[in-house]
Amino acid sequence: MRKINIVPDEYYHIYNRGNNKQNIFMEEKDWLRFLFLILYFQSPVTFYNINVGHRVSHVSVSKKTLEKILSNRTVELISFANMPNHFHMIVKEISNNGISRYMQRILNSYTKYFNTKYKKSGHLFQGPFQIKHIENNEQLLHLSAYIHRNPREIKEWKNKEHLYPWSSYQDYINKNRWGDILKTQIILDQFSNNNEYKDFIETSGVKPDLEEELLLD
């Protein structure tokens, strides 16, 4: 991971992939588990028993726990796309070391879960998480487009990325499934309505000067 200064009130692109490009999700419960972690680990609230149920709509916490998370969050999750062997997120740093602790908790928790479940050992992810500072608003918008178009890489989801359950795209163009735990306003407030954002995603490509920075090798 390239050394950068992570400072409050700035936005960052965070990504990583499986070690040796291996898949990091083997069945639906793995996808649900990781989704829970990126949503609800935004504060130091401790979970002693994580039960994600059997479908996306089951990924939730009690109203009391949600209020505690929202009042103590150290980061804000802006957008995400979880893919078979990698993930992308846009995250805002709220307090010092917020992103570092957030990602450490997510990756450690998920790796422990995965290795125990599948009787594995060692590293699941390819080194530390990767992070890049988002320099300006134009980059923020094009990065959100890149992330939300990512599921096109999967054959069965090509041109159906707006239905892909493991990204935040549908939360931008339809009802936000996660409410205040997913902060869409910084991007959506720049469009007159959700359909205008959808048109932006479908018609804008990644700018050539951003593509090299965004792609995982």
152 assigned to some structural domain: yes
pLDDT given at position 217: 45
32 assigned to some structural domain: yes
3 assigned to some structural domain: no
**Confidence grade of residue 171 (pLDDT, cut at 50, 70, 90):** very high
79 assigned to some structural domain: yes
- Chain-centroid distance of CA 123 in Å reads 20
4 assigned to some structural domain: no
Compute the distance between CA of residue 118 and CA of residue 26 in angstroms, rounded to an integer: 9
pLDDT given at position 204: 77
**Confidence grade of residue 3 (pLDDT, cut at 50, 70, 90):** confident
141 assigned to some structural domain: yes
Is the pLDDT confidence value at 14 over 80? yes
Compute the distance between CA of residue 80 and CA of residue 14 in angstroms, rounded to an integer: 9
pLDDT given at position 208: 43
CATH code at 27? Answer: 3.30.70.1290
Structural domain for 100, as ranges: 11-210
Q: Is 78 exposed, middle or buried (0-12, 13-18, 19+ CB in 10 A)?
A: buried
65 assigned to some structural domain: yes
- Name the domain count of the chain: 1
Identity of residue 95: S
Is the pLDDT confidence value at 214 over 70? no
192 assigned to some structural domain: yes
**Confidence grade of residue 8 (pLDDT, cut at 50, 70, 90):** very high
Q: Mean pLDDT in the chain?
A: 91
**Confidence grade of residue 123 (pLDDT, cut at 50, 70, 90):** very high
Full-model pTM = 0.92
pLDDT digits (tens, 9 = 90+) for 195-206: 999 999 988 766
pLDDT given at position 213: 52
